[in-house]
């Protein structure tokens, strides 16, 4: 049996990596007073239709939609921002704080062609700063993405940034772009011709070289932006310069979701070929209002955890295995003192593994040797009768007796001298 196409099991050894990423993100975000939020994986289909935009890839091709038993239209969430915006409105988070800084980490679902760095169930770490319109908030979120990448020892990344203006500015630009692209209709396939009429901005990030060439002389979005948009963008850039965060202005960066305005950005890596974007985000001032909430200008980003892990697998998996106590017990006795010993190990927070095999003592010791444990606690008939533990040091093959009345002292010694 295999998992569904485009889905993966995350095995115990990988969970260690996930925990590291979560801890690093949590520590950095906590200092900036970003609080974790978890939203349901299931949402009303209409929520995403309202927010993401009808002519986007997500809405057209990638959503996992189904009807539940009461024929309600349900969607497995394809991204986090819309759900966080919905939660902000449903729970009236705006009543307590004017500005809400939130983060999440969890699975998203998109029906895409699975390949390296592209799954149907994948995980995103995301942050959303809700309620501020000033450029510092754009810079704060971008800086946090960079901080997290740097804490994970990423060096080979590239920040691309653009201003996509307001909805009104884009409307005028779209007309100009469509007019320009229509002149080259005969060079395009049916899908692209359709895109020119429905969502011409998406043509801008087309990877085809011939289309890229045509785009060189296409009208530029920045020429359609008014002073407010341009000032906002310049402020963001000036702050990035002050912070020494290198960036490239990419005029053709538009992002796949309709709800963005002003700042749009992506962080790319040179290490993955097609799936080279690890983080994408931007400002979305009207999303919450469009979903029925109060006017709440916002900005945020999402990072693909699987892509992070592919690039940095060497950084993650070299963690040393912690020493653990291996407990061996004879199962034909009045062995209940084992629970007293375990309770003490818990008190001292010493990790242990209880052998549950029902094999004889010798076989269990052999097993401990085979899996390269260092310290065994052996509880055989004599030990249980006389209330002591035989401690076997497997690396030196030496043994010692520790009576239960001395156990506290011995565990302290282990914890602070041996297991550190
Ligand atoms: P792409 O252009 O690669 O499809 P996107 O623009 O659709 O990315 P976003 O919606 O901005 O991606 O999501 C943010 C991040 O989530 C991406 O930069 C990527 O790291 C990750 N991501 C998106 N889709 C997938 C997927 N199907 N599998 C794994 N990671 C993904
Ligand atoms: Mg995509």
Provide the CATH number for the domain around residue 340.
Answer: 3.40.50.800
Whether residues 95 and 244 share a domain: the answer is: yes
Total number of domains in the chain = 2
Name the token pair of 298.
Answer: 């916002």
- Dihedral angle, C-alpha 23, 111, 257, 130, nearest 10 °: -30
User: What is the per-residue pLDDT across 273-302, written as a single tens digit (0 to 9) for each?
Assistant: 777 899 999 999 999 999 999 999 999 999
Whether residues 252 and 352 share a domain: the answer is: no
Q: What Cα–Cα distance (Å) separates residue 221 from each residue in 110, 307, 378?
A: 29, 30, 74
Q: Is the dihedral of CA 72, 76, 79, 83 positive or negative?
A: positive
User: What is the per-residue pLDDT across 362-416, written as a single tens digit (0 to 9) for each?
Assistant: 999 999 888 888 899 999 999 999 999 999 998 898 999 999 999 999 999 998 8
Give the pLDDT mean for 89-102.
96
Q: Which of 17-26, 47-56, 81-90, 334-343 has the lowest mean pLDDT?
A: 47-56
Residue 158 lies in a domain: yes
CATH number at residue 123: 3.30.930.10
- Among the three residues 259, 284, 317, which one is the final residue of a domain in this structure? 317
**Residue 161 burial (C-beta neighbours within 10 Å; 0-12, 13-18, 19+):** buried
Contact 254, 202 (CB under 8 A): yes
Residue 170 lies in a domain: no
Interval between CA 335 and ligand 2 midpoint (Å): 58
Whether residues 241 and 99 share a domain: the answer is: yes
Interval between CA 190 and ligand 1 midpoint (Å): 25
**Residue 207 burial (C-beta neighbours within 10 Å; 0-12, 13-18, 19+):** exposed
Query: Any known ligand binding at 62?
Result: no
Contact 87, 37 (CB under 8 A): yes
Of all ligands present, the nearest one to the C-alpha of 112 is: 1
Whether residues 245 and 344 share a domain: the answer is: no
pTM over 0.75: yes
Residue nearest to atom 11 of ligand 1 (CA): 280
314: pLDDT strictly greater than 70:
no
Residue 179 lies in a domain: no
- Among the three residues 317, 346, 374, which one is the final residue of a domain in this structure? 317
Query: Any known ligand binding at 81?
Result: yes
Of all ligands present, the nearest one to the C-alpha of 107 is: 1
Q: Which position has the higher pLDDT, 248 or 189?
A: 248
DSSP characters over 134-195: SHHHHHHHHHHHHHHHHHTT--SEEEEEEE---HHHHHHHHHHHHHHHHTTGGGS-HHHHHH
Residue 220 lies in a domain: no
Q: In the chain, pLDDT over 90 holds for what percent of residues?
A: 73
- Among the three residues 317, 352, 384, which one is the final residue of a domain in this structure? 317
Whether residues 368 and 263 share a domain: the answer is: no
Q: Which of 115, 157, 302, 306 to mutate to test the pocket of ligand 1 (most atoms within 8 A of CB)?
A: 302
Whether residues 124 and 40 share a domain: the answer is: yes
Whether residues 300 and 157 share a domain: the answer is: yes
Task: Please tell me the predicted confidence (pLDDT) of residue 316.
Answer: 66
Task: Please tell me the predicted confidence (pLDDT) of residue 320.
Answer: 55
Phi-psi region of 153 (alpha: psi -120 to 50; beta: other; left: phi over 0): left
Q: Which of 60, 128, 205, 280 to mutate to test the pocket of ligand 1 (most atoms within 8 A of CB)?
A: 280
Residue 161 lies in a domain: yes
Q: Output the ligand 1 site: residues, CB below 6 A.
A: 79, 110, 112, 117-119, 122, 124, 256, 275, 277-280, 302-304, 306-307
Whether residues 235 and 372 share a domain: the answer is: no
Whether residues 108 and 235 share a domain: the answer is: yes
Whether residues 260 and 384 share a domain: the answer is: no
Q: How far apart are CA 252 and CA 220, in angstroms?
A: 8
Q: Which of 106, 307, 309 to mutate to test the pocket of ligand 1 (most atoms within 8 A of CB)?
A: 307
Interval between CA 266 and ligand 1 midpoint (Å): 10
Of all ligands present, the nearest one to the C-alpha of 205 is: 1
Q: How far apart are CA 162 and CA 181, in angstroms?
A: 21
Whether residues 307 and 334 share a domain: the answer is: no
Closest-lying ligand 1 atom to the alpha carbon of residue 78: 10
Of all ligands present, the nearest one to the C-alpha of 115 is: 1
Q: Which of 124, 125, 263, 283 to mutate to test the pocket of ligand 1 (most atoms within 8 A of CB)?
A: 124
Interval between CA 204 and ligand 2 midpoint (Å): 15
User: What is the per-residue pLDDT across 55-92, written as a single tens digit (0 to 9) for each?
Assistant: 788 888 899 999 999 999 999 999 999 999 999 999 99
Whether residues 247 and 341 share a domain: the answer is: no
Task: Please tell me the predicted confidence (pLDDT) of residue 319.
Answer: 53
Q: How far apart are CA 223 and CA 26, in angstroms?
A: 40
Q: At what angle do helices 227-242 and 135-151 cross, to 10 degrees?
A: 40
Q: How far apart are CA 383 and CA 370, in angstroms?
A: 24
Residue nearest to atom 12 of ligand 1 (CA): 280
Query: Any known ligand binding at 22?
Result: no
Residue nearest to atom 25 of ligand 1 (CA): 118
Q: How far apart are CA 82 and CA 7, in angstroms?
A: 23
Q: Which of 52, 64, 122 to mutate to test the pocket of ligand 1 (most atoms within 8 A of CB)?
A: 122
Residue 186 lies in a domain: no
Interval between CA 255 and ligand 2 midpoint (Å): 9
Residue nearest to atom 22 of ligand 1 (CA): 304
Query: Any known ligand binding at 79?
Result: yes
Residue 356 lies in a domain: yes
Task: Please tell me the predicted confidence (pLDDT) of residue 321.
Answer: 55
Interval between CA 380 and ligand 1 midpoint (Å): 56
Domain that holds residue 122: 12-165+225-317
E-state strands within 68-120: 73-76, 100-109
120: pLDDT strictly greater than 80:
yes
Closest-lying ligand 1 atom to the alpha carbon of residue 308: 20
Interval between CA 111 and ligand 2 midpoint (Å): 10
Residue 66 lies in a domain: yes
């Amino acid at each position: 049996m295999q998992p569904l196409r485009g889905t993966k099991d995350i095995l115990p050894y990988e969970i260690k990596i996930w925990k590291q990423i979560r801890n690093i993100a949590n520590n950095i975000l906590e200092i900036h007073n970003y609080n974790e939020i978890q939203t349901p994986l299931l949402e009303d289909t209409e929520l995403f239709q309202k927010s993401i935009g009808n002519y986007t890839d997500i809405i057209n091709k990638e959503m996992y939609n189904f009807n539940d038993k009461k024929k309600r239209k349900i969607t497995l969430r394809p991204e986090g921002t819309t759900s966080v915006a919905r939660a902000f409105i449903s729970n009236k988070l705006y009543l307590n704080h004017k500005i809400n800084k939130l983060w999440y980490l969890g699975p998203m679902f998109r029906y895409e062609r699975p390949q390296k760095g592209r799954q149907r169930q994948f995980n995103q770490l995301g942050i959303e700063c809700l309620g501020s319109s000033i450029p510092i908030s754009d810079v704060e979120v971008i800086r946090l993405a960079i901080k997290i990448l740097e804490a994970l020892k990423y060096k080979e990344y590239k920040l691309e940034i653009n201003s996509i203006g307001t909805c009104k500015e884009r409307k005028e630009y779209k007309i100009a772009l469509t007019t320009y692209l229509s002149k080259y209709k005969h060079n395009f396939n049916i899908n692209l011709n359709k895109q020119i009429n429905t969502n011409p901005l998406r043509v801008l990030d087309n990877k085809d070289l011939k289309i890229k060439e045509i785009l060189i002389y296409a009208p530029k979005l920045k020429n359609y932006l008014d002073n407010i948009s341009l000032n906002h963008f310049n402020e963001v850039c000036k702050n990035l310069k002050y912070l020494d965060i290198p960036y490239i202005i990419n005029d053709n960066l538009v992002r796949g979701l309709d709800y963005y305005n002003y700042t749009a950005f992506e962080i790319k890596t040179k290490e993955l070929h097609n799936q080279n974007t690890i983080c994408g985000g931007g400002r979305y001032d009207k999303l919450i209002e469009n979903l029925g909430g109060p006017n709440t200008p916002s900005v945020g980003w999402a990072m693909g955890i699987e892509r992070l892990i592919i690039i940095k697998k060497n950084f993650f998996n070299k963690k040393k295995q912690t020493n653990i106590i291996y407990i061996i017990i004879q199962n034909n006795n009045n062995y209940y003192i084992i629970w007293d010993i375990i309770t003490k190990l818990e008190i001292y927070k010493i990790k242990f593994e209880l052998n549950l095999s029902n094999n004889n003592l010798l076989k269990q010791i052999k097993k401990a040797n085979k899996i390269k444990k260092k310290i065994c606690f052996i509880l055989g008939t004599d030990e249980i009768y006389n209330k002591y533990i035989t401690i076997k040091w497997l690396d030196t093959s030496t043994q010692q007796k520790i009576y239960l009345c001395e156990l506290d002292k011995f565990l302290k010694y282990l914890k602070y001298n041996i297991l550190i």
